[in-house]
A and B are shown apart, each in its own frame.
Chain A
Amino acid sequence: MRCAILGSGNIGTDLMIKLLKGTDASGSGTTPLELVALVGIDPKSDGLARARRMGIEGPHEGPDWIIDHADDIDMVFDATSAYVHVAQAERYKDAGIVAVDLTPAAIGPKVIAAVNLTEHLDAPNINMVTCGGQATTPMVYAIRRAIDHLPYAEMVSTVSSRSAGPGTRQNIDEFTKTTSTALREIGGAEHSKAIIILNPAEPPIMMRNTVFGGIPEGADHDAVIESIYAMEKDVQKYVPGYRLKNPPVIEEGPYLTPGGEVPHRAVVLLEVEGAGDYLPPYAGNLDIMTAAAQRVGEAIAHHKAEQKAGA
C-alpha cells in the first residue's frame, strides 16, 4: 500500500524512519506499507531534507501535494495539528485516500493499537487518539476486563518539555479531552479524566504514564494484577520500551470518584522508552504514537489486500 506522511516535525520524521526500515511494527515481518513521500510546508525543514537524503520525495506544498498525487497515494499519515486535519479530512476522503490521523482532531473512530486494532479497518479516517492515550488506554482496558465494571479511570502523562512540540502545546485541551474520551470509549471506564504535565528537567525524563482505576467492592484483585501484566506484554509487541516501572498495586481508599465511591484503586506506573529512531529514547511519547500508527496502517493494508484477493 502506497502511503505518504504529512507533517515533517518530530512525529512525521520519526514515522518516516520507522517505515523506511522495511520491517513491520512487530519487527519480525516485512511492512506492507510503501512510503512515497514526507510532505511538509517548510522547504528548509530538517525532516524534509532527511527524507530526500533517505531517497523519498520531500515536497513542501503541504496537503495540496497529497491531493494532487491522489492517484499514487492510498493512505496518508497526518502528523500536523488538529486544526489542519479538521480542515483537510474531507478532501482526503473525497480523493479516496485513507487517513490515519495522528493529531487529536478525532474525526474518525479512535483506535488504540493494543485494544481495538481491527475494529475499524474499513473506515476512511482513523484517529490515533494521543500519545498518552496509546500508552494508558490499554491499561484501563486491562483493568476493566478483569472486573464487572469500572466506574472511573484516570491517566496522568508526564513528558519531557523537549519532546512536546508546538502542536501539543497549543492544543493541550484537545489532548486531555481526546484522551479522556478514549479511556471511556475504548478503555471501558464509565467516567474518566486525563492529565498532562510537561517536565523541563535536564537530562530529559523518560515519558511516564500513570493509570488509576477505581475498583468496586467484591472485585478479584489478583485478576486485575494478572490482566495488567498480560497487557504489558501485548503492547511490548510493537513498543519494546513499554514497561511497568513498578509492580502494579491495589491501594485502599475509600475514594469518592465521579463514578461513585469505590473501596480501592489500582495504580499502574508506566514508563515508555522510545526506540530512538529520530529523537532520543526519552521521547517515548513520540515512539508509542508512531509505532501504533504504523501498526494500524499495516493492519489496514493487510485487510485491503485480503479484500482484493477475495474479490
Chain B
Amino acid sequence: MSTDYRLIDSTLRDGSHAISHQYYADDVVKIVQGLDAAGVQVIEIAHGDGIGGSSFNYGFSAVPEKELIARACEVTTNAKIACLLLPGIGLADDLREVNEMGVQVARIAVHCTEADITEQHIKVAKSLGMEAIGFLMMAHANSPEGLVEQAKLLQSYGADTIYIADSAGAMTTEDVRRRVNALVENIEVPIGVHAHNNLSMAVANSIAAFEEGAQNLDGTSAGLGAGAGNCPTEILAAVSNKYGIETGVDPFVLMDLAEEVVRPLMPRQQVIDRAGLILGYAGVYGSFLLHAQRAAERYDVPVADILLELGERKVVGGQEDMIIDVALELATKHAEQESTGNGASA
C-alpha cells in the first residue's frame, strides 16, 4: 500500500532510555508483534545509545541487545527491523553482525555538525545491502544551512534517507519547518524527522515536517523515550488520520499496544515535568534526564542546576560522564558556601 510518509517506531531503541535499558525478550516479542500487526513499516531496536551502548556511561542492558535484536528479527512478519549506531560508540563490525540476524536498516547517528565521522559506517551498511539512514542529532543546534551542508556529506557517503533529530525536544514548529524546507530543497534523498516532546510540540512538529516534505517520521509507543519522551506513535497515527494523511497503520492497534503492553512496563508515565521541560528549554540531550536525576540524588544537588550547567557547557549526546562532573562541582561549591556561611543568602 502506498502511504504518505513512512513511520519508524523506536519504542525498542529510544524507549529503552526511559526504562534504563531493562528490556527482556518477552517485551520485545510483544512490542514487535503489536507494531507489526498495526502496519508500522520499520521497527528500530538497540540499546538507547545505539548498538554497543551498554556501558557504565549510558547504563548496562539487562539482556544483551543482540539477543533482543535476533528475537525481533524472528518475530516480525512485514515490518523491517532497524538498528541505530553512533560512530564512536558502536562499530562497523556490529552492523555486519546484526545484518546477519536480519536487520535491514542501519541508522547512523551523529551530532549535527560531525557528519564526516559516519563515512566508514554508512559505506559498510551499503556494502551489506542495508538501507543506510544518516541521522543528525541535536538538530536545533545547527542552522538550516548548516544542516544542509552536513546532509550533503551524508548523501555523498551513500545515505538513502536523511533524518534530523530534535534530541533535546527544543524545536518550535517554525524551527522544524525552516530546517525541513531547506533539506527538501537541497537534498535529493528523502528526509525524516525524529521529534521529542519536551516543549509539548512532538506531534505538531512531526505534522509540520510532513507538510514541508518530510517522508519519514518517528514515534514511540506511549511516547516512551528519553527526556520528556518521543512523539507518541499512536497519537501521530490518529492525528494523521484526522488530517487525511495516509499512514498505512491502524491507530487502534497502536492504542492497544500502548495501553496494554507498553504502559505497564513504564516505571513512570511519560510526562513533561520540570526537569523534562528544562531539557527542552535549555536544549540539553534528552537521555541525560535519568542519569542527572540519579547524580542529583547521590550528591544531593538540584537536578535542574545540573541540567542548566550541562546546557551552559554545550555538552553533546554521549557526554553522560559530564553529569557526574557537574554534580561533583556543584556539591563542592555547595559545601564551600556552607562552610563560609554564605549558604543561607544563596
Contact = CB atoms under 8 A, between A and B. Distances in A.
Interface in B63-117: 87-89, 91-93, 111, 113-114, 116-117
B262 to A, nearest CB: 23
A199 B314 contact: yes
A256 B62 contact: yes
Interface in A272-286: none
Interface residues of A, number: 38
B56 A257 contact: yes
Contacts of A307: none
A154 B92 CA distance: 19
Given A197-B319, A257-B60, A169 B116 contact: yes
B119 interface: yes
B117 A269 contact: no
A146 interface: no
B324 interface: yes
B158 to A, nearest CB: 15
B321 interface: yes
A167 to B, nearest CB: 12
A170 interface: yes
B56 A176 contact: no
A210 interface: yes
Interface stretch (A6-14, A95-103, A221-229, A241-249): A241-249
Query: In which size bucket is the chain B interface?
Result: 35 or more
B298 interface: yes
B315 interface: yes
A158 interface: yes
B318 interface: yes
B301 to A, nearest CB: 13
Given A247-B328, A267-B324, A195 B318 contact: yes
Interface string B136-180: 000000000000000000000000000000000000000000000
Contact of B328 (A173, A193, A208, A246): A246
Q: Is the interface of A mostly helix, strand, loop or mixed?
A: strand
A133 to B, nearest CB: 14
A171 B121 CA distance: 10
A177 B333 CA distance: 38
Interface in A167-199: 169-173, 175-177, 193, 195-199
Contacts of A169: 114, 116-117
A212 B57 contact: yes
Contacts of B259: none
A153 to B, nearest CB: 9
B117 to A, nearest CB: 5
Interface string B304-346: 0000000001111111111011001100100000000000000
A309 interface: no
A172 B87 contact: yes
B91 A208 contact: no
Nearest to B64: A258
B92 to A, nearest CB: 5
A196 B88 contact: yes
Contacts of B317: 197
Interface string A36-79: 00000000000000000000000000000000000000000000
B186 interface: no
B119 A210 contact: no
- Please list the 6 inter-chain residue pairs (A to B) with the smallest Cβ-Cβ separation, ordered nearest first: A201-B314, A210-B321, A212-B56, A246-B328, A197-B318, A200-B113
Interface of A: 154, 156, 158, 161, 166, 169-173, 175-177, 193, 195-201, 205, 208, 210, 212, 214, 245-247, 249, 251, 255-258, 265, 267, 269
Given A170-B120, A201-B315, A212-B57, 19 more contacts: A154-B56, A156-B57, A176-B89, A193-B52, A195-B57, A195-B88, A197-B319, A198-B111, A199-B111, A201-B313, A205-B313, A205-B314, A245-B325, A246-B325, A247-B328, A255-B56, A256-B62, A257-B56, A269-B324
21 contacts: A156-B319, A158-B321, A161-B113, A166-B116, A169-B116, A172-B117, A172-B120, A173-B93, A173-B120, A176-B88, A197-B318, A198-B88, A200-B111, A205-B314, A210-B324, A210-B325, A246-B332, A249-B328, A251-B298, A256-B60, A269-B328
